[in-house]
Amino acid sequence: MKKLLVFTVVSSCLAFVSCETPMGGSGGSARYSAYDVPASKPTNPGKVRVKVSLRNQAVYVLEGSRALLVMPVSVGTTRNPTPRGNFRIYLKEAKRRANTHGYAYRGNSIVQTYLARKPAGWKFKGTPMPYWCEFTPAYGFHTGWMKPYPCTFGCLRMHENVAPKFFSLVQVGTPVNISTTQPEDTTIGRNIPRPPDAGPLPDHPPSFYLGNAYFTKHKTPKYR
């Protein structure tokens, strides 16, 4: 999930949920799993709008002048930038999988790869992208590993515990403005608490991503 590498698993993890060990334990992994930010439900869901600051790597979910959710995101790189402009969310899918990249598997072997490079005779499942909210073709908000620097292929990557909150606050038709900066950067966007850098943390085993466990690996959302 962190990056496309090729590797093989020669265990029986594919068949047993007990083998699918999520992040946890001590140190950075535990702090990453514990990360969360508060959120509030809107009075009028039709008045909700989303503003994204690429420089601050922040999202502001607003109802009028009221902030419902302020969260950090990982954004696209200079080579693969996040689109700027005015959009509307037009597709929501809680259990989305990527169409072009993911995991090829046969028996106990798993290869993380692109669909176009799938070995002949192997089955394929796309990379899980939980709580997908698409705002322009092939670009959306979704759960993924968070880093403190631009690192995505243009999508807006959310922390696993915050993604379900964002998903519940927006609806098809919610306006999204994506800009280099936003006025909120100097007010509610100052000093946003951010999760530990996921870069140096251990990844899940590939079998974890083949199943449904990653779609439910988050805290139960709570609202103020």
Residues 22-41 pLDDT 10s: 334 446 899 999 999 999 99
**Residue 132 domain-assigned (yes or no):** yes
Q: What is the mean pLDDT of residues 150-166?
A: 98
| Short-list 51, 143, 137, CA closest to 97 | 143
Q: Structural domain tally of the chain? A: 1
Q: Are 75 and 156 in contact (CB under 8 A)?
A: yes
d(CA 203, CA 95) in angstroms, rounded, equals 20
The answer to whether the predicted template modeling score (pTM) of the entire model surpasses 0.85 is yes
**Residue 146 domain-assigned (yes or no):** yes
Residues 117-130 pLDDT 10s: 999 999 999 999 99
CATH number at residue 40: 2.40.440.10
**Residue 184 domain-assigned (yes or no):** yes
**Residue 26 domain-assigned (yes or no):** no
* CA separation, residue 101 to residues 36, 79, 113, 114, 116 (Å): 28, 19, 6, 4, 8
- From the number of C-beta atoms within 10 Å of its C-beta (0-12, 13-18, 19+), residue 163 rates as buried
**Residue 72 domain-assigned (yes or no):** yes
Name the residue range of residue 45's domain.
Answer: 13-20+36-190+202-216
**Residue 82 domain-assigned (yes or no):** yes
Share the mean pLDDT of the chain: 90
Strand partners, 156: 141
Residues 3-19 pLDDT 10s: 554 443 333 232 222 22
Counts for the chain of helices (H) and strands (E), in that order:
3, 12
Q: How confident is the model at residue 42 (pLDDT cuts 50, 70, 90)?
A: very high
- From the number of C-beta atoms within 10 Å of its C-beta (0-12, 13-18, 19+), residue 57 rates as buried
**Residue 5 domain-assigned (yes or no):** no
d(CA 166, CA 59) in angstroms, rounded, equals 10
**Residue 221 domain-assigned (yes or no):** no
